[in-house]
Amino acid sequence: MVTALVHGRVLRAGALRDGEAVLLDGERIAAIVPLAEVPADAARHDLQGAMLLPGFIDTQVNGGGGVLFNDSTSVEGIAAIGAAHRRFGTTGFLPTLISDDLEVIRHAVAAVDAAITEGVPGVLGIHIEGPFLNVERRGIHRADKIRELDEEGLAILTSLKRGRTLVTLAPERTTPATIRRLTDAGVIVAAGHSNATYEQSIAAVEAGTTGITHLFNAMSPLTSRAPGLTGASLERPELICGIIVDGHHVSPTTLKIALRCKPPEQLMLVTDAMPSVGSDSDEFLLQGRHIRVLDGVCRDVDGTIAGSHLDMATALANTMRLLGAPIEAAACMAAHAPAAFLGLADSLGQIAPGYRADLVALDDAFHVTGTWIGGAGIEA
């Protein structure tokens, strides 16, 4: 049976539109029609004036619902993380593993492969953030987990059978030839946790690097005579940069400058979320370290930021409130940009006929009132 989502404001073709209904047929959007043309036999779902946006896609999700992916590399753990973030409009995500032993990475890849096979809602692949990083820019990553990228590591990074594999690495800790081996194998490579020079960064781009992990955080900065990885990130249109818009990781002024350098299509909202998101607990363990959420920020006992307590609906609202971006731009950064980054822009990230019915409804306070993943809806 066709389902008609009615009485909402539909974001499509760059604007919120009244008086239209979105028709869902199975997993896909069948059509977008005037309300008067909704088929008489369609099942109607009243959005009650909510905004209907493309479902959010988060490429950096360490945990949620009290679960940390590093500690629960299982189908059940992935499902729990996805369920927690779905409450905040995330309809597609990459469970993200921070630097760990190769055996843990191997288990994580197998778990994601199994989760996709079993149809866990929203799982699009895996993000392996390290351990092939620069220890000087490790942030919360444990120094004893960081290592060189060798043949065994390459074999694991290229082993996922289903979905997308995103790898964050420091370009200066490997070679352009190795990056090319990864990209030739279908792996999406992002630069991050890096002290790369501008020249090393450009060499990585020319070898196939297309992403930047949490722009401005844990990377060589832009200075007067040394642009570094940050300068390359802002200059090169091939690079889609993840940004954490929580008001803590990066100054809103700095992010406004990024928005003047790059269009919304080249910036994607990420949460870098930890287990506290979607959980009643304000503390958790991260590889043996006690992390507490204080004033909305996850920190260890030394004050180092450890991921975030951010969800995608809040990231969207912050992008409008703190950066002054219109809803159309913020939604692009939350859906279309990450879909394009993952090579999925022909099926995700827009409300259009033929696209998968991954959608989120939000009220004017940006509270999620419903989500649909592959046409299956859940009311908040």
Binding site per annotation, positions for substrate: 140, 217-218, 225, 249, 305-307
Inter-axis angle of helices 75-86 and 102-117, nearest 10: 70
- Strand pairing partners for 377? 372
Q: What is the sign, positive or negative, of the torsion defined by CA atoms of 354, 20, 24, 334?
A: positive
Q: Please state, in angstroms and rounded to a whole number, the distance separating the CA atoms of residues 267 and 331.
A: 11
Q: Between β-strands 15-17 and 20-25, what pairing exists: parallel, antiparallel or unpaired?
A: unpaired
SS3 242: strand
246 is catalytic: no
Q: Please state, in angstroms and rounded to a whole number, the distance separating the CA atoms of residues 366 and 47.
A: 14
Indicate the DSSP class of residue 135: G
**Contact by Cβ (8 Å): 294, 248:** no
- Strand pairing partners for 219? 194
Q: Which of 58, 113, 272, 311 is catalytic?
A: 272
Structure-derived torsion over alpha carbons of residues 273, 94, 210, 135, reported in degrees to the nearest 10: 50
Binding site per annotation, positions: 129, 140, 193, 214, 217-218, 225, 249, 305-307
**Contact by Cβ (8 Å): 264, 245:** no
155 membership: H or E segment, kind and range: helix 151-157
Binding site per annotation, positions for Zn(2+): 129, 193, 214
Evaluate the omega torsion of the peptide bond into residue 263 and state whether it is cis, within 30 degrees of 0.
no
Which positions are annotated as active-site residues?
Answer: 272
